[in-house]
Structure formats: C-alpha cells, structure tokens
Amino acid sequence: MKILVAVKRVADPDNANRIKVSSGGDAIDASGLEWKINPFDEYALEAALRLTENGASPKKREGEVVVVTMAPKEAETTLRSALATGADRAIRVEAGDDDLDGRVVAHALRKLVEEEKPDVVLMGKQTVDGDSNQVGQMLAELLDWPMATFAATLRQEQDGSLLVGREVDGGVLSLRVRPPCLVTVDLRIVSPEGVYSSLTDPSFKYNEGVRFAPLPAIMQAKRKPLTVRPLSELTDVALTTKYTKFELPAKRSAGVKVKDVAELVQKLTEEARVL
Amino acid sequence: MSNVLVVAELDQDGNLRKSTLSAITLARKAEGALGGGFDVLVLGANTAAAAQELTTFGAGRVLVCEDASLAHYVAEHFAPTVAEVGKGYKLVVATATTFGKDLMPRVAARLDAAYAGDCADVAAEGGKLVYKRPMFAGNAYGYCELSTAIQVATARQSEFAAAEPSGSTSPIEKVAKAAPSGAAARVEYVSLDAVTSERPQLTEANVVVAGGRALKEKFFEVIEPLADALGAAIGASRAAVDAGYAPGDYQVGQTGKIVAPSLYIAIGISGAIQHIAGMKGSKVIVAINKDPEAPIFQLADYGLVADLFTAVPELVSALRARG
C-alpha cells in the first residue's frame, strides 16, 4: 500500500500565551512562538506507518509512505524528522503561508496525488494554527474519492478496505471506505488499539502515542530522497480567502475565591442567579 | 429571492437537531447584506416532521430531499444534492457540528467555493461578508473575506443563539436527489455507536459539570450526583479522557466539544489552554480544585480551593437541601 501524508509546520499553540497581533491588527505575530509539526499531522504519519507494517516488526515497511508539505525551506527539518520516523520519501512544495489558502492547498495536493497515485491520503483533521478543518474534505471531493474524517480507529481488512471509526457528536460512526480514499485523523488514532494493518495481529497493542526516531534512523534520514517542487507547477488557482484583521479575545478576569461550599451556593443563587 | 441556503441536520430518527437553529441565525444575519432571504434544505429518508418544524423560522422555502439512500448521513451521498441546490445561492451554511464540518468543505469544493469554517460571527462591510473565526485554539480571532462567487460557511453553535420562530409559515417544496458521485460507490455506512443518555446534550446544555484527571476512577461516582442535582450534561478534560476515566465524546476543548452554558463547573481541572478554548464562552464558571495555583482560577468567576472528594458531595447535599 502506498500512502501520501500531508503535513504542516505550525506555530506551537501550547505557547498560545505568547500569541500577539501586530500593531496594525493585520497580522499574527508568531515571532515568539516555537515551530513544530501540526500534532494531528504527526498522528496521521504514525497512522500511515502503522498501516504499512506488521506492528510486531515495525522496521520492515510494507509499501511506501510519502510525506508532503507546502512551506519554505526551514520546514525541511519537519520533513527530515518524518523521514527519520519511518517515511520513505519527502516532497516540499515551495510556498509561503501568504501563497496558500485551503482551496489552493487542496488543488495543489490534487495534482500531486494524480502524479503519485497513492492508495490512501492521510492528514490531520485540522491544523492547530488556522483551525480550518477543510483541506481533506476538499481534496477528497476534487479527486472524487470517498473520505472518512475525524478517524479514531482504522482497520485494514483483508480485501484492502478500511474500516474507520469516526468521532462524531454523540458517538462513533463507522464507515467502510475502499481505496483510493482519504482519511483525516483525530487524536485517539494513536491509542494502543488505534490502527491495525491487515498484517498486524488483532491482539497486538501499540505503545500509546507516536514513535520516536532512533539515532541511526536520524542519520539515515539525511540520505532519504527529498524533492522540491514549485507551487506553480501544481496549481494556478488564485487565493480566495483573505484575512484582513486579527484580534485577541477579550481576557476573562479571575473572579472571587469562596471560602466553602455554603458560600459558593449562596453566590451562585443570589449574585450569579444561575441556580 | 433567497440568497442564503441553510443545510439542516437531522438525527438518526429524523428529528431536527437543535444545532440547525444556529445556522439559521447566521443566515438571518447574512441575508440582509446579500439582499434577500434564506431557504432551508432538509435531506433524509424520513423528513416530514423536521420539515414541518422548519417552516416556522421565516425561511422563504423549506426544500426537502427525501430518499432511502439518505437514511444515514454519508458525505458522498449528501454533497452532490447540497451542491446542486446550493448553485442557486450566494452563501451555503450549516452549523459546525461534526456533520457540518465533514460535509460543507466537500460541498465547497464541488461548488468551487471558498469556505469559512466554525465562524463566531458574520457581518456585512461594504456589501461584502466578513467572517470572524477563532484560530490558534481560540487564542486569536481572524476576520476573513472570501472572493468566490458562491461562499460556504459553518456556524460555531455556541456563538450563534438558536433562532426563534418568526411567526410566519414557509412553504415546503420537494427537490430531486442529484446523481451520486463516483466516490459514493466506494463508501459504506456501517454503524453508529451512539452514546445514549438521559442527560442534555453537552453542546446544548444549560449547565455543564466537567471533571478532570484528579477524579481518577471515581469520575462518575463523584460527577454524576452533581450533574443529576443540576440537570446538567457531563464533560471531561482531555487528560481525564486520555487516562480512560471518561469516554472520548465527553471531551471539552479545542479538539473536543465547544460549550457555552450558563453555568460551567470545572471539578479537578487544572485549566490547560486547549481545555479553556472549549469552555471560556460560558456565562458563569465555577472551579473546584485543591491546587490554589491552578490556571483555571484565573478565569473562574467563583473558585473554591478544596479537596473535590469532600467538596463535591457537600455541594450535592446543599443543592438537594434547597429542593
């Protein structure tokens, strides 16, 4: 099975206290933020690795995992660490954030998918900077592929179909999709029983979370192929989403500390009037 | 002539989901700027009751697409019809539930439209719509404009109040189901493992009681009596969910559900950024935590520094005593 994983490098939202808006209000000032791979995309990569191996012998890749990003050269660090974790090849599409919106990314990925012909495209359900949650669904439609979004579990069946447990409001909705198909992943995909390839024994349990690259693999990753493509080769779709202003949300201020349960009930009844 | 189309969401039994009323509120705000009214589109296998209910909100028309293949929501079956009907509008909207978030970007791609997801507000500036969107886990808002001929958006339920009936009655019209796309042949609905509960839905509840990892295996033992006493929905922090103390769909936060009840009681929740992103819109926030330095106290209206295993049962008794 060949899997294409789309990843993005994002400003770490766990450092959100340091998010600032430029003085004119027309840009997010990310200068104080650290960069890291979008966590949902990191989980998509882990899911791709689990789908292309027997969980008991993860060093042997059954198939190919290609990782792609659209970003400036600095993001090659992100691609190299994906290669070190187990991906076989990487593609960087040369583009700055200002060249991209969800629709442009979806169209560029469509062209790459048509060239690469993967069986499955995997990506995070959303990036934690823009929080848009749109590229996977748009790409699936452009390709006329079936999709399963917000995946918490993935089972590869003997005929190659994927049984996907989707996290939806009020429960888990299961879909069966036949490749070529697209899956976007939610947090719980990296739980011990999140993903099973058809080679992995159903009783096998992964470690919680994503795998880390051993040192020799980090060295080896430097020799794995990484190609660079200009965005213009993949799409000529124009930008159609324009952010004109940013602002920080109103800060909620701390209220009062109550001394005991009786005072709490009294405040909620008489002051807040919510009981 | 209507220029906004609202896509309604039904539950498994064909009942209208209340979340739809938030998308109607967005449509009412946008319709004026676009110079017209709004229509509602209902898709399903059993739509009669929901369609009837939807006639009371001031829509120009309630459009109904009823077909056995629409019994369960699957994007590949719904998107072609939504896009076919949507072609006649300037803006196509739904509420940003997992239904809306799954379906609407797919519809947007089919319409060659740009998409503004999970909007907190929409306003008209110079005849153009400006969408206000939470970004960076709710730590910033961005205002964006879309420049495609048709635009697609979803409304964050906690930011758009449920629409009230308008006093008028909309006509119901049938629309044909569009031919399915090739993708539909390769996807099959298997099951919905629904969490059944007598409690109100987390995203629609007036009161939410949420627990953190500190509750350990006693999560339900401690939280349930309090939720019962308040008629509240139960939520959980990601830490409590990851540790297995509460199921995944209880999670409140950036990656879980976004809630904005009148009263939010956080029990043993420290207040990680990603949790706060999911509940800071609540009107009144109460925090009970034994760590006085917990970040949750920085935004709680009422904080009680106490051992939750004694304070919560005490609170339950006090509430019961009030009757």
Quote the minimal CA–CA distance from B169 to chain A in Å. Answer: 30
CB count, 10 Å around CB of A26?
12
Tell how many helices (H) and how many strands (E) occur in chain A.
6, 16
* The most confident of A231-235, A267-271, B164-168, by mean pLDDT: A231-235
Does the complex come out with an ipTM higher than 0.85?
yes
Does B257 lie at the interface with A, CB-CB under 8 angstroms?
yes
pLDDT surpassing 80 at residue A15: no
Cβ neighbours for B218, distance < 8 A, ≥ 6 positions apart: B309
Residue of chain B with shortest Cα separation from A252:
B299
Does the beta carbon of A30 lie under 8 angstroms from any beta carbon of chain B?
Answer: no
pLDDT of residue B90: 96
Instruction: Pick the residue from chain A with its C-alpha nearest to B275.
Output: A14
When comparing pLDDT for A31 and A82, which is higher?
A82
Query: Residue B138 — very low, low, confident or very high, per pLDDT cuts 50/70/90?
Result: confident
Confidence of residue A14 (pLDDT cuts 50, 70, 90): low
Q: Tell me which H or E stretch contains A31.
A: none
The arithmetic mean of pLDDT across residues A196-223, rounded, is 94
The predicted-structure confidence for B257-283, as pLDDT tens digits, reads as follows 999 999 999 999 999 988 998 999 899
Q: What is the pTM of this model?
A: 0.91
Residue A16 confidence (pLDDT): 58
Whether A180 shows a pLDDT value over 70: the answer reads: yes
pLDDT of amino acid A192: 95
Secondary element (H or E) of residue B133: strand B128-135
Topology classification of domain A2-272: Rossmann fold (3.40.50)
Question: Does B194 score more than 90 pLDDT?
Answer: no
| Distance of alpha carbon B1 from alpha carbon B294, whole angstroms | 54
Q: What are A56-78's pLDDT values in tens digits?
A: 999 899 999 999 999 999 999 99
Residues 66-95 of A with CB under 8 A from B: none
pLDDT at res. A13: 65
CB contact under 8 A, A134 and B306: no
Q: Is A193 on the interface with B (CB under 8 A)?
A: no
Q: In this predicted model, which residue has the larger pLDDT, B148 or A15? A: B148
Structure tokens at A178: 């036949």
Going by C-beta distance under 8 Å and a sequence separation of 6 or more, which residues neighbour residue A270? none
- Centroid of chain to Cα A72: 18
pLDDT of residue A250: 83
